[in-house]
Structure 1
Amino acid sequence: MTAQPSDQPPEEPQKETTYKRVLLKISGEALMGDQGGFGLHPPTVQRIAREVQSVHELGVEICMVIGGGNIFRGLAGSAQGMERTTADYMGMLATVMNALAMQSALEGLGVFTRVISAIRMDEVAEPYIRRRAVRHLEKKRVCIFAAGTGNPYFTTDTAATLRANEMACEAIFKGTKVDGIYDKDPMKHADAVRYDTVTYDDCLQKNLKVMDASAIALARDNSLPIIVFSLDEPGGFKGILAGRGTYTRVHN
């Protein structure tokens, strides 16, 4: 019997991603969703986990670093009179809480995940051992690096850049609320101009607030590109990996 032609358009073939191993950096505030104040918004955590799952299904090896600002921000605590080192360690513990929440969401979707902490807490996370973490990635497990670098005075931006270099990632993907880097805050200025590409030095000289200066300098010194994109755009993470979407690339 001859098959009848279908009225449905043929499915677009899946484009092969240009990246094999990446690090996704998101802020702790991204896990709050639209709720005010502090804390986690479980539907938002689930939504981000689905974004990660969609990229994982492409065969991409994924590391993650999540900030802790939705629970506690060390610099803010220090500004209110708390001793800076203590405040920063509290912020590191907040990142572990966020990492555990993301691990639960990912494993609920069937994605094997490891939380790897720079501060030893063996009951809830693995200690950071570089070769072990690389092996997890090779086994297609998502590695969530928590507790920053394990040292006060260093942000999770710097931790993300450090881990991305140690894991030989091909790029850092920085998920934000806007679709790239602008010359000024697009939430406040209608005439803000988005950059398609920008150099590390421009980020530092123009104070573009992509990441802190230490993180930018570390990425520059190791020629590690930073892709800034909107985490609020459904399918945005997967789309950029497949060569689509709007973003800004930071490079030499």
Structure 2
Amino acid sequence: MAPMDAPKYKRVVLKLSGEALAGTMGYGIDPEVAYSIAVQIKEVVQLGVEVAVVVGGGNIWRGVAGSTKGMDRATADYMGMLATVINSLALQDALAKHEVDTRVQTAIEMREVAEPYIRRRAIRHLEKGRVVIFAAGTGNPYFSTDTTAALRAAEIEAEVILMAKRVDGVYDSDPLKNENAIKFGQLSYIDLLNKGLGVMDSTATSLCMDNRIPLLVFGLNEPGNINRAVLGENVGTYVGGDLNDTSV
């Protein structure tokens, strides 16, 4: 029989929003938050789980926001990709302080600060117990970091995407604005598309659906939740397959 603390997943992609790194500041990078996230990632690595991370850049720059104010969309998106590199280096530094071997791989080449993204090299790093942080999105404008997470998860054959958010799951409306919002326990990919629940964009959702990559959406604010998610505990909303809707 497997031990009680045996992880449910062997290889995961952890999706962090840029806003998560900002903490209560709302902008930039809060070193204490990066420290806390690094501690949680280390706990998961110590379980023998292979961890890849995709970080957003919304705490520094949002390409869509820039384009709505008249900036060229492609240029704005490239700026957003560079913001994800800044966040990735900050997270790498926090992990290094906890003696977690980490590599940053970027979709836009910048060899002085990170490795270029190479699928087989990324997998090899994971097999050696290193955390791999995927930066600069897909390297293309018009694609979100949610799509990056779905794409990289498919490429490295991850078993699940762990989506760490400010709220503890998927609700029928914003629980930060509506105290009567209903939390879903399980959803199908089609539910995400049809209900417009805003968990991830339609491109990312379709990629997950086509490649049968489940999502686990949970709250990052509770210390230890990443560890609980990897162990298979009920910490958020599970998305995958053709599940029937259930609410908690």
What TM bracket, shorter-length normalisation?
over 0.9
Q: 2:117 aligned to 117, 128, 135, which one? A: 128
Tell me which residue corresponds to 1:6: none
Deviation at 1:243, TM superposition (A): 2.8
Matched ranges for 1:11-22 at <5 A: 15-22=5-12
Deviations 1:172-218 (A, max 9, x none): 00000111100111111111111110000010000010100000000
- Does the Cα contact within 8 Å between 2:228 and 2:235 map onto a contact in 1? no
Tell me which residue corresponds to 1:8: none
Q: Distance in 2 between matches of 1:237 and 1:158?
A: 21
Q: What TM-score, normalized to structure 1? A: 0.93
Matched ranges for 1:98-247 at <5 A: 98-247=87-236
Q: Distance in 1 between matches of 2:87 and 2:62?
A: 13
Deviations 1:110-162 (A, max 9, x none): 10000000000000000011111110000000000000000000000000100
Aligned pair count reads 239
Deviation at 1:14, TM superposition (A): 5.0
Tell me which residue corresponds to 1:58: 47
Q: 2:77 aligned to 85, 88, 91, which one? A: 88
Q: Distance in 1 between matches of 2:224 and 2:234?
A: 9
- Does the Cα contact within 8 Å between 2:162 and 2:229 map onto a contact in 1? no
Q: 5+ residue gaps in structure 2?
A: 242-248
* Percent identity between the two aligned chains: 55
Matched ranges for 1:58-77 at <5 A: 58-77=47-66
1:34 maps onto 2:24 in alignment? yes
Q: Distance in 2 between matches of 1:52 and 1:154?
A: 26
Q: Distance in 1 between matches of 2:53 and 2:35?
A: 15
- Does the Cα contact within 8 Å between 2:160 and 2:216 map onto a contact in 1? yes
For the residue of structure 2 that corresponds to 1:175, the secondary structure is strand
- Does the Cα contact within 8 Å between 1:25 and 1:65 map onto a contact in 2? yes
Tell me which residue corresponds to 1:9: none
Deviation at 1:245, TM superposition (A): 3.9
Deviation at 1:90, TM superposition (A): 0.4
Task: Decide which structure has the larger Cα Rg and report it.
Answer: 1
Q: What TM-score, normalized to structure 2? A: 0.95
Deviations 1:16-74 (A, max 9, x none): 011000000011010011013x2111101101111111111100000000000111111
Superposed CA RMSD: 0.9
- Does the Cα contact within 8 Å between 2:138 and 2:148 map onto a contact in 1? yes
Q: Distance in 2 between matches of 1:74 and 1:223?
A: 29
- Does the Cα contact within 8 Å between 2:44 and 2:226 map onto a contact in 1? yes
Tell me which residue corresponds to 1:248: 237
- Does the Cα contact within 8 Å between 1:64 and 1:145 map onto a contact in 2? yes
Deviations 1:74-109 (A, max 9, x none): 110111111111100000000000000000000110
Q: 2:14 aligned to 24, 27, 52, which one? A: 24
